[in-house]
Structure 1
């Protein structure tokens, strides 16, 4: 990742999705995104660990009504850097599609991550132990879910992205009534310190998981995944299924700059949703939309200036215009914000880039920030402001 130095009045929002940002001490602090009232989003602290002495920061999304709802129990990955600095994960695009299909969605942050208590468990090159250690917290979250009146304990799907996918597959080796299948989005764990042959260790762990697996699974891996290349994915899949695991592999093509980020991208829905619906039907889970969710009205394009007219962007000094020039090559969804103080901020990909762009701008500005571009549209008032 390139690290840019910028004037104090300016703030730059890095380009990775919120759920996959690298944790770097030099980054400006990002404010938490607002809870989504339309998805009945809430954050709870869930008792975990021996004697319930630990607590897991857990995000819950629910459809309207009292339930009981089928449940998606989703698991997050591991960002580079200390687990404690990893922000609360939401996977908002996935959560939206499942709530639309009548599901409740739970996403616990495991021990040592974000606002959860306890310590991150690291077993080095012992991939099976790593997977089991992460699965322990997920099992506690599952036990909590079963006790809730709004959860249909007979209709549960486990899912996970990256390290969370490995944790979900590990949990699925246990006999868990009501759990019907696993969604594995680019699951695995990579170790880059040279301490072991991590690919061989991971393959061995997948074979053990396949031998003990209890439910079918759907695996989705993209061609340009920066963590798990297609030859390794084939090894993992062959090891898992040869040992007896039930799995279907969807090896899709390249996705933007890195297929490992597909699930955190708005445009990734077009990749994973249809095969996920087919899998859900196959395991007897709901797959059709049943809940109408209001979509926020997009900001209307104005006639203030052409998007490519760098000189028309108000308030910016030369460094800001250079940033805007670079922004024009960023991925969609994206947003660029400016302030009369000369501050600016941008965000691309991931959740709510408009909110993130405004936040990064506002952190360096005493005056209010305002969106200038959202996706491809200049949204600045036509008469200027």
Structure 2
């Protein structure tokens, strides 16, 4: 099927963690609550030449037995060891699709997170990198089409960063039931070395355009720190000029870095209208048919003013310096503290409350509680810690 002999996620994480006495990697390893609003669960999907790899896959579904149309969302690659990468969830996008009656699958590809097998890196051979990762996506589609709760004729693929590159590579195949591919900030950047990774990426997109079989939607922002407008224009020209079917949406700047748009709470007004138009064009459902409860926000309190650094309990001076820095971060954001003197915070992306608590808890034997969420204080002096810790069940 794919020219690469075997089966990279390049994702500038929207999450920033900082905490007393614990590293970000340790904090990220803590299991986050599953989202019961979306019937979230984690399953194993067989993949690989002999289907001997199990892909750690997040599954969301509406209530009921289906069959449901399907969205498959594909992740990028964080720097470092793929095994140390956390399970991607794409909760904001998943929620919008579950409202529209879709099942949503987010597979961690071979060698990432808790997926088995060994990650393969072809370096500057971008064509092979894309095809390699696309193999796993094709296996997920094949598995999904065998499930009674999936509408095998209504499937759409999405990918962010390296997952976008993989999804565009997948569009070279005739896959039964797959009607469209959505590429959000797709590509792969090689750090170090002497190869011209941009030229290699353009050449890969040229080949994918020549072999394109499935209609695609691309979305890139003007201030993407990995794939700027000049490079995106080259990718588009290579793909479109070789016959690829593509609608490019250049949506301008987004916050500090458009590369994080899809994983941001504030990205939905940008991507959702374009996605709905694309779904209508390829014959996929767009009408909201299910209600999904909105997350219950932490209530604001009158404990202290947001910028009253001295009022934050328990913190040593270094922690107070961190809180001052936290006040300049963008929302969504959260800051957590513990009576042990530990702290943790998270900025942007998904599950910021839970990530801030996990960052703090990784450094503390005492319970951690949220102090600040977004632009208001949620701390109540003397309250039960359970009143403002993350709710939900864990994996």
How big is the shift at 1:290?
A: 1.5
Aligned pair 1:236/2:231, yes or no? no
Specify the alignment match of 1:196 in structure 2.
195
Alignment of 1:24-43 (within 5 A): 27-30=25-28, 31-43=30-42
CA deviation digits over 1:148-191, x for unaligned, max 9? 01110110101101111111111111111211111100111111
2: distance between equivalents of 1:95 and 1:242?
A: 33
* Aligned match of 1:355: 354
Aligned equivalent of 1:17, options 11, 14, 19? 14
CA drift of 1:383 comes to 7.6
- Counterparts of 1:121 and 1:383 in 2: how far apart (Å)? 51
Structure 1 residue runs of 5 or longer lacking an equivalent are 1-14
Change over 3 Å in CA distance of 1:361–1:25 after alignment to 2: closer
Corresponding position: 1:294 with 2:293: yes
When the two structures are superposed, what TM-score results if normalisation uses the length of structure 1? Answer: 0.92
Instruction: Find the counterpart in structure 2 of residue 134 from structure 1.
Output: 133
- Is the 8 Å Cα contact of residues 304 and 383 (structure 1) preserved in structure 2? no
CA distance 1:342–1:26, shift in 2 (3 Å): closer
- Runs of 4+ with deviation above 4 angstroms: 382-385
CA contact (8 A) 2:156 2:178 kept: yes
Partner residue, 2:206: 207
Query: How far did residue 382 of structure 1 move?
Result: 6.7
Partner Cα distance (1:39, 1:27) in 2: 27
Which one is further off, 45-54 or 225-234? 45-54
Q: Is the 8 Å Cα contact of residues 342 and 360 (structure 2) preserved in structure 1? A: yes
Residue 308 of structure 1 and its aligned partner are, at CA, apart by: 1.1
Alignment of 1:108-119 (within 5 A): 108-119=107-118
Deviation at 1:57, TM superposition (A): 1.0
Shift of 1:209: 0.5
Work out whether 1:217 is the aligned partner of 2:216: yes
Corresponding position of 2:99: 100
Q: C-alpha displacement at 1:289, in angstroms?
A: 1.7
C-alpha contact 1:222 1:259 (8 A) present in aligned 2: yes
- Answering whether residue 47 of structure 2 is matched by residue 48 of structure 1, we say yes
Name the SS of the counterpart of 1:325 in structure 2.
helix
2:171 corresponds to 1:172? yes
2:261 is the alignment partner of 1:262: yes
In the alignment, the residues of structure 1 paired with residue 339 and residue 144 of structure 2 have an alpha-carbon distance, to the nearest angstrom, of 48
Q: Where do 1:279-318 residues align within 5 Å?
A: 279-318=278-317
Question: Using a 3 Å threshold, how does the CA distance of structure 1 residues 383 and 145 change in structure 2: closer, same or farther?
Answer: closer
- Equivalent residue number for residue 68 of structure 2: 69
Q: Is the 8 A contact 1:125 1:195 kept in 2?
A: no
Distance 1:334 1:142, change over 3 A: same
Q: What SS class does the counterpart of residue 298 from structure 1 fall into?
A: coil
Note the residue ranges of structure 2 that are not aligned, 5 or more in a row.
1-11, 385-395
Count of matched residue pairs = 368
Q: For 2:98 and 2:339, how far apart are their aligned partners in 1?
A: 40
Instruction: Specify whether residues 26 and 302 from structure 1 end up closer, same or farther in structure 2 by C-alpha distance, changes over 3 A only.
Output: closer
Q: Superposition RMSD on alpha carbons, in Å?
A: 1.9
Deviation at 1:235, TM superposition (A): 0.5
Q: Does residue 325 of the first structure (1) align with residue 324 of the second (2)?
A: yes
Look up the match of 1:6: none
Aligned with 2:33: secondary structure? coil
